[in-house]
Structure 1
Amino acid sequence: MRNKKQLQIEQLDQKLEKFQDSAMVLVPTKGWINTIRTTINMTRDQLGTKLEMTKGAIQKIEEREASGQITINKLKDVAQALDMKFVYGFVPNDGSIEKLISKKSEKLARKIVLRTNQNMKLEDQGIGDEKLDKTIKDLTNEIKREVRKSIWD
């Protein structure tokens, strides 16, 4: 049976899945604003008129976007002036939130179990590799089910 957290993860993964292809798109060197504006043959003056700004202010906006120092609200304003929609999102490196949580849970479980086993070996009470792997797998599933905050440490 799925718990509330698992359902949230599934729903978020469904939303983020739509961004997977966009992660492959490279941002133009001069930024999107400059690239789109020049491609559609719009001058800085024309874009400035739509945004009630000067040509120089548009140049600054393009420079700030290219250097990563522009606000999301400003990007939304420019998109609207270009008769476009500004979209942003995050794409998990592992393909999904579920995979990210699994990877982090397994890493934490391995760390806990191996540290505990090391202490037990010092007391001549260590467990075999097969039992060790099963213990790591069981703890991984428990950590994953709970989505423990400690996986992010």
Structure 2
Amino acid sequence: MGKLCARAYRRFGLTPRGGWIAAIREALGMSQSDLARRLGVVQSSVVKMEKSERSGTVRVETLRRAADALDCELVVLMVPRAPLQETVDRQRLKVYSATINRAAAHMELEDQAVSSDLRQHLLQQAEDEIPDSALWGIGSSGQAPRVRFRDRRWPDTAGPG
């Protein structure tokens, strides 16, 4: 867990202030020396472990060993910030806008209102022509991969003109 993530969890009250290892150890009435003995390490190693958890630099394997010693199950969870299809659609539009005419790219960059019909048309065209495997190949320049499209026209009522 990165430092930013660790701070966010603490900010929203999802992580005990001293970290989970210390909180569970203390709730069990176990000293750092007791935990060290169960882990087969010296007490200073437990101090370091608890400190690394608080700072967000603890390794998953270290957490797994601590969980076992505390008779706990370790659950590592990744939660998407948005629905996965929404993330794919947003990336697909990014790739698509990088390859179509300047007007469409400006519409997306300037966050202009794009009708739901036009958005659906763009997504459908992009979905037909950009495979999922081509969505994430952004190079070191930060630019979306180049994709060639067949010449298609904007819907009569929705496109720039």
TM over 0.5: yes
C-alpha change, 1:131 and 1:31, in structure 2 (3 Å) is closer
The alignment covers a number of residue pairs equal to 118
C-alpha change, 1:85 and 1:60, in structure 2 (3 Å) is same
C-alpha change, 1:117 and 1:40, in structure 2 (3 Å) is closer
RMSD of the TM alignment (CA)?
Answer: 2.9
Contact 1:33 1:78 in 2 (8 A): yes
The one of the two structures with greater contact order (alpha-carbon pairs below 8 A, sep at least 6) is 1
| Counterpart in the other structure of 1:88 | 76
Unpaired runs of 5+ residues, structure 2, are 1-11, 106-114, 139-161
Work out the percentage of aligned pairs sharing the same amino acid.
22
Unpaired runs of 5+ residues, structure 1, are 1-23, 119-128
TM-score calculated relative to the size of structure 1: 0.63
CA shift at 1:29, angstroms?
2.7
C-alpha change, 1:80 and 1:133, in structure 2 (3 Å) is closer
CA shift at 1:114, angstroms?
4.0
SS class of match (1:148): helix
CA shift at 1:142, angstroms?
2.4
| Counterpart in the other structure of 2:52 | 64
| Counterpart in the other structure of 1:136 | 122
CA shift at 1:91, angstroms?
1.1
Greater helix content: 1
